[in-house]
Amino acid sequence: MLQEVNAETAGISTASQRKAKTGNQKRKTGDRVFTIILHILLSIGALIMVSPFIWMVLTSLKDTSQAFSDPPTWIPNPFVWSNYPDSFNALPFNLAYFNSIYIAVIVVACQLLTCSMAGYAFARINFPGRNLVFVLFLATMMIPFQLTIIPIFITMRNLGWLDSHLALIVPPALFSAFGVFLMRQFVMGIPPELEEAAIVDGANRWTIYLRVILPLLRAPLSALGIFSFLGQWNSFFIPLIMLNTSEKFTVPLMLSQFRGQYATEWTMVMAGAVIAVLPVLIVYIIAQRHIIQGIAMTGLKS
């Protein structure tokens, strides 16, 4: 009798194991199918997103007749490589490149300094009205920038900075609500015991900021620097309002002038657009890991 019970128990156990194994196999198969479908959808979405850029690059290598052919052709025949030197020499792109680079570098350096200092102050220093001031900082992110362009323009005119690069450097360099928020959220996630240990060793606020906090902010500072550089490089509205002299134009503004001068030469316009977007693309490809890391590590503690 006992042997029969043991046999039945063993049979039930074996059947359960088979069912569990079959269930695991089905789940694994379902996970694989879901992963494949997800990758297919993501690939289709990525192709749709990158198709305008591919079209821009291919059109920059066509002649005018191919650019407006019906039905449209993707592959140039023949490849017109001369569009690039022609578009680069048609307008002073080298000067516009220099203007955009040095403006973006100065703004990035100033934003990294001011935003990291403000973020540390909002996260660690208790002063009257700290929360209210921080809320006001965040509230500025809700205001469309176009609503503030008139007072900024009047201020720049009163300072005598119109048609000057100072009008493009000083306002964004002194204030960035997004940058302050990014730095503050990351500093909130740093253990306060590190600062307490530094205080025991006799460190003041400046020493703590420079030697303890700042080295730990490399990831969010990298992300903020990249965002700031891309924003300044692609900025078109502010230079359009503030600048009048072509020698002071940035790359986006110079590209718009190029389009006005060659209204029908769309292939040369596309070549100029490719020249203008290359630095942004290179910066993003090199630094995309820092962007993801800086955003992912921000806001872990509120």
* CATH classification of the domain holding 290: 1.10.3720.10
Structural domain includes residue 18: yes
Look up the pTM and report it: 0.75
Confidence of residue 295 (pLDDT cuts 50, 70, 90): low
Range of the domain at 217: 84-296
Structural domain includes residue 76: no
Residue 107: the pLDDT is 92
Query: pLDDT per residue over 227-272, tens digit each?
Result: 888 888 888 888 989 988 888 888 888 887 766 554 556 777 788 8
Query: pLDDT per residue over 95-137, tens digit each?
Result: 888 898 889 999 999 999 999 998 898 888 888 888 888 888 8
Residue 12: the pLDDT is 54
Question: Comparing 214 with 256, which gets the higher pLDDT?
Answer: 214
Confidence of residue 216 (pLDDT cuts 50, 70, 90): confident
- Is 224 found in the same domain as 165? yes
- Is 142 found in the same domain as 247? yes
- Is 241 found in the same domain as 95? yes
Residue type, 237: F
Question: Based on the structure, what is the number of domains in the chain?
Answer: 2
- Is 272 found in the same domain as 158? yes
- Is 103 found in the same domain as 39? no
Range in 27-31, 55-59, 136-140, 257-261 the model is least confident about: 257-261
Confidence of residue 40 (pLDDT cuts 50, 70, 90): very high
